[in-house]
Amino acid sequence: MENLIENLKKQIIEQLNLAEVKPDDIDASAPLFGEGLGLDSIDALELIVLLEKNYGLKIQEPKDAKNIFQSVKTLAEYISSHKK
């Protein structure tokens, strides 16, 4: 899980063009949206792409994504439990 979280942090930084952010800056339990990294609706769509591109997991409804993308930790848990 630790490995997955670390990898996810790097992938998120790359996918979302968070150029001035380092993996160590991201708290795995902190909210991704609103506060924390302050991501927006387009970033959420890019995370949906990331999930499909890197992990083969497809989210059909954007509103399902809200809980999955709460934090890096919840995202990692989703991937762990759904990965083929």
Partner 1 sequence: MSNYILSYTKIKNNCLWHNDKLVSKIGETDNFLEETYKSLDLAYPKFFKMDALSKLGVLCAEQILTDESIRLLPKEKIAVVLSNKNSSLQTDVAYAKTMRDFPSPSLFVYTLPNIVTGEIAIKHKITGENAFFIEPTFNADLLHNYTELLLQESEAVLCGWLSIDEKTCDGFLYFVGKQTESNQKKINFIKHNPTNITQLYTN
Partner 2 sequence: MVFVTGIGTISAIGKNVSETLSSLLESRTGIGKINHLQTIHKDNYVAGEVNYSLQELENLAGLKNSNYNRTTLLSLLATQEALTSAGIKDASTYRTGFISASSVGGMSHSELLYKDFLEHNPHENFIDTHYTGAHATDVAKHFGITDYVTTISTACSSAANAIMLGARLINNNILDRVIVGGADALCKFTFNGFNTLMILDKEWCKPFDNNRKGLNLGEGAAYLVLESERVVKAENKKIIAVLSGYGNANDAFHQTASSPDGQGAYAAMQKALEVANFFSNKIDYINAHGTGTANNDSSEAAAIQNIFKKNIPPFSSTKSFTGHTLAAAASIEAVISILSIQNNTIFPNLNCVTPMQDTTLFPVTSLQKNTEINHVLSNSFGFGGNCSSLIFSRN
**Which residues sit at the interface with partner 2, rule CB under 8 A?**
40-42, 45, 48-49, 62
> Count residues contacting partner 1 (CB under 8 A)?
13
- Residue 1 binds which of partner 1, partner 2, none (CB < 5-8 A, kind-dependent): none
Could you tell me which residues come within 8 angstroms of residue 47 by beta carbon, excluding any fewer than 6 positions away? 12, 15, 16, 39, 65, 69, 75
Which of 6, 7, 21, 77 lies at the binding interface for partner 1 (CB under 8 A)? Answer: 21
What is the radius of gyration, based on Cα positions, of the chain? 12
Binding site for partner 1 (CB under 8 A): 16-21, 42-43, 45-46, 49, 52-53
